[in-house]
Amino acid sequence: MKTQNNRAWFFVLPVLLLVAFNALIPMMTVVNYSVQETFGDNLFFWEGLTWFEQILRSERFHAALGRQFLFTGLILAIEVPLGIIIALSMPRKGFWVPVCLVTMALPMLIPWNVVGAMWNIFTLPDIGLLGYFMNNTLGIEYNMTRSPLAAWITIITMDVWHWTSLVVLLTYAGLVSIPDAYYQAAKIDGASSWSVFRYIQLPKLKQVLTIAILLRFMDSFNIYTEPFVLTGGGPGNSTTLLSIDLVKIALGQFDLGPAAAMSLIYFAITLLVSWLFYTLMTKDDAK
């Protein structure tokens, strides 16, 4: 009879433990809350899928989800093309390369809550640099605590300022990896700079752009700290994104069941969109 060597389990164990504490156990706690009604003194009552049904039918959830998709859509539509344009116009060699790279990386090094607080003060109508300038110097009314449009413009601008650099740096890395010979061949062919971008640079950038879009999608879809510090979800509910709404339900109203169900749905949507996008983008490569 063949003797089984079980020593392999020993090597896998640390990873199993890590994954368990990192993902499985917290996740299962949430699943546990999502199917029960919770009272004080750790009293639990089985509720089945009630909370899921309630969330999926709730108009409040639909509104927050709509705002979330609008926010993420705008972020991707602005940051990806802008990032590509900036990366294309950055120098490839010489003194200015490190200067550009460090300047680009700076916003990403600032902690989320600091970014939120910075922009909050920056836009205050009475003392903020931008707020004062807009209202008192230019005479344009700009107050994001009162106008939903101003609030949206501000959170979008803040995110563009904070995260476009990520797209820039990834794209730039992709661009410098294209050998000169391709550019020369395109020149010889008589290609215009648009053809060079369309037929040489873009295909070569496909992989890094996939990663950049994926990262920007996940981050912006799950964004919490910056808009929370900046607008707190207001005015009214106009900037209440999914994560802000979730925290309100879970910690404000202490509805643990619905909040748990909502976070699982939230997680499923993020996962599904990421998977769809990644599968579509890498479909051609598999052939």
Partner 1 sequence: MTLEIRNLSKQVKGVVHIKETSLKLEPGQFNVLLGQTGAGKTSLIKMMAGLDPIASGQVFLDGQDVTALSTQKRNISLVHQFFVNYPHMSVFDNIASPLRVAGMAKSEIQGRVEEAADILQLRPMLHRRPHELSGGQQQRTALARAIAKESRAVFLDEPLANLDYKLREELRDQLPDLFAGRGAVVVYATSEPEEALMLGGYTALMDDGYVTQFGPTAEIYRAPKDVKSAQVFSDPPINSATVRKSGHSVYMGDVGWDISPDVAKKMADGDYILAVRPNHILPYRTEKAKVSLVGRIAVTELSGSESSAHFDFDDHSWVSLAHGTHPYEIGEDHTFYMEADACLYFTPDGNRIA
Q: With contacts defined by CB under 8 A, how many residues of the chain interact with partner 1? A: 14
The gap between the terminal CA atoms of the chain, to the nearest Å, is 44
Residue 280 as a binder of partner 1 (CB under 8 A): the answer is no
- Shortest spacing between CB 104 and partner 1, in angstroms: 28
- Rule CB under 8 A: say whether 14 interacts with partner 1: no
Render the burial of 87-115: b for 16+ CB within 10 Å, e for the rest.
Answer: beebeeeeeeeeebeeebeebeeeeeeeb
Residues 6+ apart with CB under 8 A from 203: none
By CB under 8 A, is residue 97 in contact with partner 1? no
Interaction of residue 197 with partner 1, rule CB under 8 A: no
Among residue numbers 38 through 57, which ones bind partner 1 (CB under 8 A)? none
Residue carrying the six token digits 């990403």:
108
Sole binder of partner 1 in the list 191, 211, 218, 229 (CB under 8 A): 191
Q: Which is nearer to partner 1, 53 or 189 (CB)?
A: 189
Which residue, 129 or 202, is less far from partner 1 as judged by CB? 202
CB of 215 to partner 1, least distance (A): 23
Query: Measured from the CB of residue 188, what is the shortest distance to partner 1 in angstroms?
Result: 5
Helix axes 59-89, 148-176, angle to 10 degrees: 40
Q: Which stretch binds partner 1 (CB under 8 A): 35-43, 50-58, 190-198, 208-216?
A: 190-198
Q: How far is the CB of 178 from partner 1 (least distance, A)?
A: 11
Rounded Cα distance, 89 and 87, in Å: 5
- Does position 91 interact with partner 1 (CB under 8 A)? The reply is no
Q: How far is the CB of 191 from partner 1 (least distance, A)?
A: 5
Contact 275, 214 (CB under 8 A): no
Q: Which residues make Cβ contacts (< 8 Å) with residue 50, sequence separation at least 6?
A: 257
Which residue from 188, 236, 283, 286 is in contact with partner 1, where contact means CB under 8 A? Answer: 188
Of 161, 123, 127, the closest CA to residue 145 belongs to 123
Three-class SS state of 144: coil
Distances (CA, A) of 238 to 148, 149, 151, 197: 6, 9, 8, 39
Specify the residue, 65 or 205, whose C-beta has the smaller distance to partner 1.
Answer: 205
> 166-185: which residues touch partner 1 (CB under 8 A)?
181-182, 184-185
Check residue 195 for interaction with partner 1 (CB under 8 A): yes
- Of residues 89 and 192, the one with the C-beta less far from partner 1: 192
Please, which residues bridge with residue 38 across strands? 44
Where along the sequence are the contacts to partner 1 (CB under 8 A)? 181-182, 184-185, 187-192, 195, 199-200, 203
